[in-house]
A = this chain, B = another copy of it.
Amino acid sequence: MPYDPSAFPPFAVTVDLVVLTVRRHALCALAVRRGEPPFQGRWALPGGFVRADEDLAQAAARELAEETGLRAHDPAVPVQDNGAHLEQLATYGDPKRDPRMRVVSVAHLALAPDLPAPRAGGDASNARWAPVEELLQQGGYGRDGEPVVPLAFDHAQILSDGVERARSKIEYSSLATAFCPPEFTVGELRRVYEAVWGVALDPRNFHRKVTGTPGFLVPTGGTTTRQGGRPAQLFRAGGATLLNPPMLRPEV
């Protein structure tokens, strides 16, 4: 196969972001409203073109910063700053996924603590955190009584894949701590698991499990009562990235 520069079709390459966070006991994703056709006015995942001199991860980190102000947590830097976790998710390249032209989108998954408020070009009405079930639900009516409009393009598929990745990855990695602030309690971490998996977990067994898994959590010495009740010990994420043995997601 000789390399004739005119022998291959040109593609547009974009990055799309599945940005997940946990708010009010629910797993939420960042959605932005489209300002132009196609799918004008519909909600979509944030994203944009990859620039000529950019790596894919750089492009994703840039888009993440533009949309949320979050700095991406560089996996090469072991320091746990307040940056978000960012990883490549999958690539979507159906010839008809964008009606205008051939676009290949490299989707990325970002996990962030609750804190940041969305900002899309400074216009808050064009960006929001929405529960993923709401964004993924098909047909019917939302909580506000409005009919549910599906996400633009194939973004429902991308979001679904991102959520599934997050759900499975917190089983065997310490990724759930990416949803937490730098210091957090065991109960806060448990509520992350409960929100992402959509289940209730036994606080006693959960406490035993996470504090007994080497490298998962390191106590900071401090305590907090911000959740009410008895003061809870504060922890930071330990160095371990792979949990052994893994957390077990309850069946069915």
Interface class of chain A by DSSP: loop
Please give the number of chain A residues whose Cβ is less than 8 angstroms from any Cβ of chain B in the complex.
35
Copies of the protein in its oligomer: 2
Interface presence of A150 (CB below 8 A):
no
Query: Could you say which residues of chain B place their CB within 8 Å of the CB of A54?
Result: 95
Interface presence of A9 (CB below 8 A):
yes
Which residue among A2, A3, A92 has the maximum number of chain B CB atoms within 10 Å of its CB? A3
Interface presence of A79 (CB below 8 A):
no
Do A91 and B94 form a contact, CB below 8 Å, given A12-B10, A12-B11, A36-B3? no
A240 smallest CB distance to B (angstroms): 14
Q: Which residue of B is nearest A7, CB measured?
A: B49
Expressed in whole angstroms, the Cα–Cα distance for A101 and B10 within the complex equals 12
Q: Which residue of B is nearest A51, CB measured?
A: B9
A9 smallest CB distance to B (angstroms): 4
Query: Could you say which residues of chain B place their CB within 8 Å of the CB of A101?
Result: 5
Further 18 A-B residue pairs, CB within 8 A, beyond A1-B48, A93-B106 = A3-B36, A3-B100, A5-B100, A7-B49, A8-B12, A9-B52, A10-B10, A10-B11, A10-B12, A13-B104, A52-B102, A54-B95, A55-B93, A56-B92, A56-B94, A56-B104, A104-B106, A244-B251
Query: Which residues on A are within 8 Å of B, measured CB to CB?
Result: 1-3, 5, 7-13, 36, 48-56, 88, 90-95, 100-102, 104, 106, 244, 251
